Structure 1
């Protein structure tokens, strides 16, 4: 499974996912770095079959209206520490992999008590 972390997601999370054996790129290392537009992030994500991890509500709207990015993880956990986000994602990763293996297009919203999946 391959991920792309948006600008508001810590580079530490990208490194953590790489250390866990996943391919994970942070937007600050590609394209126009933190200046990259949301539409270019979505296009890059789709072109490279990456699951975009973001806190940005605009990507949810883009998925619902335009079906891009094709694979999206929307973090709805508020102001939590990087360690807490990493721990939470570790607990969800098996379910995320299962969804990714079974669907070419999806949005997973991660909340404190549930994963909401939109196909």
Structure 2
């Protein structure tokens, strides 16, 4: 699977996923960097079949109303330290990636992941 990480998440998250051989873009990799608009992210995710990784519930709303982006990983971890966030991804991303073969909307909390459909 391919991922697109939203601006409010650390760039180091993209590096962690790349080390695990995932195809990852962070908004800092895009021309407008952290100023990249949500609409551009939605369109790029649809065009390149990328899963949007975000804490921004606006993406949840657009997914539920319009199925855009086509796949969404919503983080509802609250304000946690980057180290804890990275550890959470290291522990769950392989299984979450596998689940995206059959599901389109997954929520990652501090304790678990939830499949929404």
Give me the TM-score of the superposition, normalised by structure 2.
0.92
Contiguous gaps of at least 5 residues in structure 1: none
Q: Distance in 2 between matches of 1:94 and 1:28?
A: 24
Counterpart for residue 116 of structure 1: 114
Q: Distance in 2 between matches of 1:46 and 1:81?
A: 30
- Equivalent residue of 2:110, what SS? coil
Counterpart for residue 30 of structure 1: 30
Comparing 63-72 and 86-95, the one that deviates more: 86-95
Q: Distance in 2 between matches of 1:98 and 1:33?
A: 29
Alpha-carbon RMSD:
1.2
Contiguous gaps of at least 5 residues in structure 2: none
Counterpart for residue 102 of structure 1: 102
Counterpart for residue 92 of structure 1: 92
Counterpart for residue 20 of structure 1: 20
Give me the TM-score of the superposition, normalised by structure 1.
0.91
Q: Number of residue pairs matched? A: 117
